[in-house]
Amino acid sequence: MASDDGKPNFEQLVDEHQSMVFSLAVRMTGDRGLAEEIAQDVFLALDKNLRKIESPLHARNWLRRVTMSRAADALRRRRVRGIDLWVEIDEAHVAQGERRSSPLGARVERLLATLPEAQRSALILRYQEDLTPEEIAATLDAPLATVKSHLQRGLKLLRAKAAIQLKEYVRGA
Amino acid sequence: MEPDDFDAMDDFERELRDAMQRRTAPAGLKKKILLRRAEGPKRRFQGPWIFQWEPATAVLAAMILVVVAAAAGFGEIFLMHQTQERRRGEEAKQQVFVALRITHHALEQMNAQLEERNRNSK
């Protein structure tokens, strides 16, 4: 993972984290094309800042933080331009050989899309990345209490929506 | 999830976590990133440092330079104007002193003549 000087190697970082970066971006924006652009920009920014990256863990946290920030910026730009925020994810456009998300996964993503952005960010980091509230707070640069509140409210809202729309999948809703 | 209980996950949260596994990145993503990375330096103009700035930054820098230059120019003009005014003031003051000296001298002469006339009449 690390090069001779102990610093992470760029291509290896792309290999290892492209799935994480792309997944965060696509779940935040709901637009595969935009998510791919964000992922490219994030990795190019990583390349520029590679000298400051001290370890593989630092690289992963940096990528999470910058991806969430870039995705939020992209959503803000779209809002300003008056473009519909969430583009329906067209599963037919998923390239061959690419793992398709499960039917439940696709429906969960659609439900997530209906949540407020702050709640969505917190839930994505919690359940996709398996982060603790403290780690989410550090990633989003937000107070811990705020993150906990977003998690609780987001989960409650998602649970209520899932109870209506995902009855056949969800046992605990 | 109960309030402040973020360690334990219930069934719904576990299913949510399973449903939100990371997606596989598009097949060509790495290639595109490496291509853009390789193109990056070529796209930039390799001239003096100031020309490597983004156009917006360069325009802003130029505007700041113009404002600073204009402020310096106005400052210079203001200082020159002040110096000229001070010099004119000094000249006017000197002229008043000369006029006062002349008046003083004339009054002394008149006084002397009056005293002499008084003495003669006595």
* Distance of alpha carbon A144 from alpha carbon A126, whole angstroms: 13
A44 closest CB neighbour out of B1, B10, B33 = B33
Q: Which residue does chain A place closest to B7, by CA atoms?
A: A132
> φ, ψ for residue A8 (rounded to 5)?
-65, 145
A162 vs B contacts (CB less than 8 Å): 12
* Distance of alpha carbon B56 from alpha carbon B36, whole angstroms: 22
Residue B52 has pLDDT above 80, yes or no: no
Cross-strand pairs, A8: A2
Least confident segment among B34-38, B41-45, B109-113: B41-45
Is the C-alpha dihedral spanning A16, A150, A162, A30 positive or negative? negative
Mention every residue, 6+ apart, whose C-beta is less than 8 A from residue A161.
A111, A114
Cβ A90 vs Cβ A109: under 8 Å: no
Interface touch B21/A14, C-beta < 8 Å: no
pLDDT in tens, B75-99: 999 999 999 999 999 999 999 999 9
ipTM for the whole complex: 0.77
A19 vs B contacts (CB less than 8 Å): 22-25
pLDDT value, residue B58: 78
Looking up tokens 């993150």 gives A147
Q: What is the mean pLDDT of residues A105-120?
A: 87
Cβ A140 vs Cβ A120: under 8 Å: no
Task: Give the three-class secondary structure for B80.
Answer: helix
Interface touch A148/B20, C-beta < 8 Å: no
Cβ A124 vs Cβ A27: under 8 Å: yes
- Provide the CB-side half-sphere exposure for A67 (13 A, CA): 30
Interface touch B10/A172, C-beta < 8 Å: yes
Cβ B33 vs Cβ A13: under 8 Å: no
> φ, ψ for residue B54 (rounded to 5)?
-65, 145
pLDDT in tens, A60-86: 999 999 999 999 999 988 877 665 545
Q: Assign residue A6 a region: left if phi > 0, alpha if psi is -120 to 50, beta otherwise?
A: left
Higher pLDDT, B61 or B54: B61
Q: What is the mean pLDDT of residues A11-21?
A: 95
Average pLDDT, chain A: 84
Q: Count chain A–chain B contacts defined by CB atoms under 8 A.
A: 104
Least confident segment among A83-97, A148-162, B25-39: A83-97
Cβ A29 vs Cβ A71: under 8 Å: yes
Burial of residue A56 (CB within 10 Å: 0-12, 13-18, 19+) is middle
Least confident segment among A55-69, A103-117, A147-161, B18-32: A103-117
pTM of the shown model: 0.64
Higher pLDDT, A93 or A156: A156
Distance from CA of A172 to the nearest CA of B (A): 4
Alpha helices in chain B (DSSP H): 11-19, 29-43, 55-121
* Distance of alpha carbon A106 from alpha carbon B101, whole angstroms: 104
B27 closest CB neighbour out of A15, A95, A102 = A95
